[in-house]
Amino acid sequence: MNAHTDPMATTFLLERQPTPLGTMLLATDEQARLRILDWEEHEEAMHRLLRRHYPRQSIILRETPRKSPAMRALEAYFDGELHAIDGLEVATGGTAFQRLVWAALRTIPAGSTISYQELASRIGRPTAVRAVGLANGANPISIVVPCHRVIGSGNKRSLVGYGGGLHRKRWLLEHENAMPPLRQAQQACLPGL
């Protein structure tokens, strides 16, 4: 039985949108809840992530030209309305721990950053820094579930890890005024900027 005739299949609507960071892919469900957000060059990994998050379901991604409320909110975000994405309803698979971490990520306001250690403390698991980092990396809804707002700890408070690429993380943090823009000479060293 193929996925198109499988009565247990779930259909998500897939949209593609050019952004300053490349073509963004997002999928919403029938209730208009955002299910996944990624970048076009990571499309194959996005499909693997969906299978991992929904192992007991057949997920069908059906492309649609119609803009969802989530896409309109993200367009507003990229146009400078940083809080346009705050109220978006999301739904994810993942473990209970991952969902706890992802919910905590949504409490980090635009223009702010925290460390993995701070995030672990916020969820009441201060010794689970590594597990928090892994959950952060498995986040299926970048930008809206703002994993880009988590940075390294210590004096340097450095940019570390971002599935979409550090150039995107830096751009998002600069867009949100969470870090100063790079100087021209430094920008030339980063791919994709």
Catalytic residues: 147
In Å, how far are 75, 79, 179, 181 from 175, measured between CA atoms? 13, 10, 9, 9
Q: 94: alpha, beta or left, given left = phi > 0 and alpha = psi -120 to 50?
A: left
In Å, how far are 8, 71, 83, 192 from 159, measured between CA atoms? 41, 27, 23, 16
| Dihedrals phi, psi of 62, to nearest 5 degrees | -110, 120
Where do we find the tokens 């346009």? Answer: 84
DSSP code for 178 = S
Amino acid at 66: R
- Give the angle subtended at the CA of 113 by the CAs of 111 and 117, to the nearest 5°: 165
